[in-house]
Structure 1
Amino acid sequence: MRIVFLGDVVGRSGRAAIIETLPGLRERYRADFVVINGENAAGGFGISEQILTELLDAGADVVTTGNHVWDQRETLIFIERHDRLLRPINFPKGAPGRGAGLFKAANGADVLVINAMGRVFMNDLDCPFRAVDAEIEACGLKRGADAILIDFHAEATSEKQALGYFVDGRASAVIGTHTHVPTADEQVLNGGTAYISDAGMCGDYDSVLGMNKEEPLSRFLTKIPNGRFQPALGEATITGVGIEIDEATGVAKAIGPIRLGGRLSQAEPAFWVRAATPV
């Protein structure tokens, strides 16, 4: 089974790149399931219902979020209407929406997607480790789910790595999001769980984490805010990972980087594209 995960979509540049590229990318990789983190898709802050629909129509099966999930106040309402939009599972009881769901892949497999958020240098939510553990215990690999993918939206790489080892062999993949910088530590852990500390962002990398450089630079120099952060609107790089899942066991066989367009060095999962037709 082939799963594509794309990192945080930032602003109009990232959205346009996803909408233009994802249909062909899904066909090129023969992807069975696609997950996108969309928490920065609406002007860099949150996600709107229209943007959610655009991402789903482009080929996403599930859209995850993180600490910016409620930045667009309408999300508190429309999230209840959209099972394929997830918010972190470790928000306190009573938060709108849900943090996990079982979804059907193109090949007929049942994929459990869990969206969790870290607590180190971030909001003090409920324990992500216990929340993820409870979800896996309720619907484990080959005990309800054919694959389990976890989007761990966290600041600290130590916390992300720890969660990877915590679920190693019990989840198909742990994909870190939030820092908007793709890391080079993609690997399959000893127990078979694919892992990367951060999938990066889908946005303009001629920026500060997807935002126009002037305001962040000014704040670092003066410690005085002069205006709102605004997304950079240059050519986006699509970043993420491709994951090959062993259908017999549900654990990962391989994980490889995806970096397409824009400024970054280009990369595709070698185990998928050797015989593929060039884009």
Structure 2
Amino acid sequence: MRILFLGDLVGRSGRDAVTEALPGLRRDLALDCVVVNAENASHGFGLAPDMARALLAAGADAITLGNHAWDRKEIIPYIEQEPRLLRPLNYPPGTPGRGVAEIPLRDGRKVLVMNAMGRLFMDALDDPFRGVQQALLPHRMGAGGTVAAAILDFHAEASSEKLAMGHSFDGRLSLVVGTHTHTPSADHQVLPGGTAYMTDAGMCGDYDSVIGMEKGGAALRFWKKVPGERLAPAEGAATICGLFVETDVTTGLARRAEPLRLGGRLSQAMPA
């Protein structure tokens, strides 16, 4: 199975770049599954239902969120009715939506997609490690299993927490990929047990910015240490950043993991 995970979409620049490129990427890379983190898609804060619909129509099989999940209030009724839109599974019981789903693919197979949020330098949510462990209990990957592959978007600040998650579930997930920092890490790899890993997939947005936001206002906050105007996304050409993973059909584990960087300012990288 060929999987593409795309990091945080930021603002119109990121949205437009991904919706325009995704049909071609699906074709050229022969993708079976595409997962997109879109928690910053709406002017940098949250996701609106019409934007989610556009991403799904463009070719995303599932959309994940994070700490900005509820910034657009109209997403609450929508997330209840759209099983392909996931928020972190370690929000308290009773939170709208879901953090784990079996996503049906175009060829009839199913992929388990999970979204969890870290706790180090983040909100004090429930334990993401035990949450992921609980979510995995009913499932087995590969031929004859309940799902062909299993993917975790771990939305977290600390690289140590992300690495701990990757190693904790090495051999039990096809992919553990980090989001949230908006900066692509260079540690893409297949862990010893067969789980593809990358500390942060980066963002899909304008890199002539401060993590996707207009750089003047963002920098001024560090200089003056007082609140300023609401930050606005940078609107230059976006770099689409993510991770490509190919899995073994028998086991569901990863055979290779390669970065994708397309367009914009960063050096380009396209999986073979």
Counterpart of 1:277 in structure 2 is none
Q: 1:218-237 residue pairs with structure 2 within 5 A? A: 218-237=220-239
Residue 263 of structure 1: aligned partner = 265
**Amino acid of the structure 2 residue aligned with 1:119:** R
**What amino acid is aligned across from residue 244 of structure 1 in structure 2?**
E
Tell me what 1:77 maps to.
77
Deviation for aligned residue 1:145: 1.5
Structure 1: gaps (5+ residues):
271-279
Aligned to 1:131: 131
Mapping of residues 169-248 of structure 1, within 5 Å: 169-248=171-250
Aligned AA for 1:179? Answer: T
How far residue 106 of structure 1 moved from its aligned partner, in angstroms, is 2.9
- Opposite residue 41 of structure 2, the aligned amino acid is A
Counterpart for residue 149 of structure 1: 151
CA distance in 1 between counterparts of 2:200 and 2:108 reads: 28
* Structure 1 SS opposite 2:86: coil
TM-score, with length taken from structure 2: 0.98
How far off is 1:110 after superposition?
1.4
* Offset of residue 36 of structure 1: 0.2
- 1:39 CA drift (Å): 0.2
> Equivalent residue of 2:85, what SS?
coil
Q: CA deviation at 1:113?
A: 0.2
Aligned residue in 1 for 2:33: 33
Quick one: distance in 1 between partners of 2:77 and 2:136? 28
- Residues 173 and 194, structure 1, Cα contact 8 Å, conserved in 2: yes
Partner of 1:3: helix, strand, or coil? strand
Q: Does 1:118 align with 2:118?
A: yes
Aligned residue for 1:113, secondary structure, equals: strand
> One-letter code of the match for 1:203?
G
1:161 maps to which residue? Answer: 163
Aligned equivalents of 1:175, 1:206: Cα separation in 2: 24
What is the CA distance between 1:74 and its match in structure 2? 1.1
Instruction: Give CA deviations for 1:125-164 in whole Å, capped at 9, x if unaligned.
Output: 0000000001111213244111000000000000000000
Worse-superposed segment, 162-171 or 73-82: 73-82
| CA drift at 1:225 | 1.8
Report the more deviating stretch, 199-208 or 73-82.
Answer: 73-82
Contact 1:218 1:225 in 2 (8 A): no
| Aligned partner of residue 101 in structure 2, secondary structure | strand
Distance 1:172 1:107 in 2: 18
Deviation of 1:112 after TM superposition, in Å, equals 0.2
* 1:51-89 CA-partner distances (Å, limit 9, x unpaired): 000100110000000000001111122111111100000
Distance (whole Å) between structure 2 residues aligned to residue 177 and residue 106 of structure 1: 26
The residue aligned with 1:90 is 90
After superposition, the C-alpha distances for 1:78-116 in whole angstroms (9 at most, x for unaligned) are 111111100000000000000000012233321000000
| Partner SS state of residue 138, structure 1 | coil
Q: Which runs of 5+ in 2 are unaligned?
A: none
> 2:112 corresponds to which letter in structure 1?
L
**Is the CA contact 1:215–1:225 (under 8 Å) kept in the aligned structure 2?**
no
Separation in structure 2 between the aligned mates of residue 219 and residue 68 of structure 1, nearest angstrom: 20
Q: Give aligned-pair identity as a percent.
A: 56
CA distance in structure 2 between the aligned counterparts of 1:211 and 1:140, rounded to whole angstroms: 40
RMSD of aligned residue pairs (Cα, Å): 0.8
